[in-house]
Structure 1
Amino acid sequence: MVKLNGTSRLPDINSKILLTQTDTTVGFLSQNAPKLCDIKSRDNAKPFIKVYKNFQALKRDYKRVPNTQKNRIRRLKKTTFIVKNFSFRVAEDSLHSSVLRKFSWNYSTSANKSTKNFSRVFCEEKADIIIEDKNGLFEGKSSKLYKINNKKIKRLR
């Protein structure tokens, strides 16, 4: 089910805030980072995780990944990586909605106010588009987080 807050038929969807179930937990997705910062009431300097629909989209975005870590990135699911202060996740199987398939990437953040738990009322007020399937929206376990380079891998979460 896709629910819109407005009367238009998805004009300029790139600037919209989407509320959906991601591969890990319920989250806000958008290509508009400043708007996400406003919703979350968080510092503009704090970066968001960039979620790619596949590994090819990551490569098209000119993001270099250490050769020694490429197989790990392709293989691990529900995992976020940090390479040179750039955080990303490849989530091929989570983009079920036809609305989301058109994007090769989105900024992603948990659907809550900073340091708070998931509140459906808060999320529905802030989201422009709500995408929900038969399982509904639920707060799941957050992704694993690894900082990687050519030689080392360090688990942060």
Structure 2
Amino acid sequence: MTSISRKHCKTSFNKKPKEPLAEYVALLCERYALLAFRPKGASFVVLSKNEKHKQILESTFDKPAENKKVDSSDEAFSSSLRADLSAWQSIQTKTHTLESTFDKNAQKIQSIASLAKVDSSDTPIFATAKTIDCHATATQRLAMTEKNAKTHKAKLSKQPPIFLAQTDTTAGFLCSSPTLLNRAKLRPSSQAVLKTFASLQCATQELRVPISHRHFVRRASKTSVILPSKKSFRIVKEPLHREFLRYFGGLCSTSANRTKEPFSLEFALQVADVVIVDSRGLYEDKPSAIYRLSRTRKRRAR
């Protein structure tokens, strides 16, 4: 993550900007050395930290956003993102397993090496030969384990990006991986993360809303709901942020600030890999209302 000097982070960026979008983007690019491009037909600008990342993003946003309902190709793209996330989680599990195996094998080699140094006059010849063979076998196994660990770590480095964008409520982080968002905000990795969707159709592909609350969820604006299954989500009605979400169907979302601290653009830019800027800019605003839903009742939690 790029470190940004505090003196270069002015408070004017933490409020709703008065400048036009082009001037606002130019100020951000100049002050924080970002690269900007605008997807075809989009009303937002994508800012990246390096040229390689910019090329990847250009291929991601090559399909223009549409004002119609999410079609089958959008659904396929969303499902491919979910498949990539599950593959990333399996790679992470394998990497942790290989690292623990690597540590155990290193300890075994140290003990075997100490045995191999024993004087041959005190140790039977066949025992010494057996120890050396075991030492060679363990060395080969360790080399193979280390090679596999490096391969999995290389795959693990290809993590989904964390976006910084002005959501329908406040400036927030968005990512397809809730684990990365929790890690960025120094929270427990198992903590539940809200998911935002571009439409109710996208939400119902992953979640089941109780029948008695579907009308409320369909008409609610800037309102997050917690289902009986403990999963939480929000349907975005704001047109500018909804346009961005349509490229992904749905993304996990959280406020772009340290836990229980106000919004800081310096911290947000250090965490985020990609910045999404529209005419609203980036600023802190009121969070969404939260309702807990049971099968038949709803209760306001915030």
Listed one character per residue, the Cα deviations across residues 80-138 of structure 1 (whole Å, up to 9, x for unaligned) are: 000120101011433233xx421111000000111111000111111111011122111
- Give 1:111's match in structure 2, choosing from 214, 234, 256: 256
CA distance in 2, matches of 1:129, 1:101: 17
- Asked if 1 retains the 8 angstrom alpha-carbon contact of 2:222 and 2:237, the reply is no
Q: Report the TM-score, using the length of structure 1 for normalisation.
A: 0.92
- Give me the CA root mean square deviation: 1.6
Query: 1:76 corresponds to which residue?
Result: 220
User: Structure 2: which amino acid aligns with 1:10?
Assistant: I
**Aligned-residue offset at 1:6:** 2.2
Q: How many residues in Structure 1 have an aligned counterpart in Structure 2? A: 154
Q: Report the TM-score, using the length of structure 2 for normalisation.
A: 0.49
Q: Which piece of structure 1 moves more, 120-129 or 86-95?
A: 86-95
Structure 1 runs (4+) greater than 3 angstroms displaced: 11-14
User: Structure 2: which amino acid aligns with 1:5?
Assistant: K
Query: 1:7 corresponds to which residue?
Result: 51
- Give 1:95's match in structure 2, choosing from 235, 239, 242: 242
Structure with more contact order per residue of length (Cα contacts < 8 Å, sep ≥ 6): 1
Q: Max radius of gyration: which structure?
A: 2
- Asked if 2 retains the 8 angstrom alpha-carbon contact of 1:20 and 1:28, the reply is yes
- Asked if 1 retains the 8 angstrom alpha-carbon contact of 2:291 and 2:301, the reply is yes
Whichever structure has more strand as a proportion of its residues is 1
Whichever structure has more helix as a proportion of its residues is 2
CA distance in 1, matches of 2:257, 2:218: 29
**Aligned-residue offset at 1:10:** 2.6
1:1-157 mapped onto 2 (5 Å cutoff): 1-8=45-52, 9-10=55-56, 15-61=160-206, 63-84=207-228, 85-93=230-238, 94-97=241-244, 100-157=245-302
User: Structure 1: which amino acid aligns with 2:296?
Assistant: K
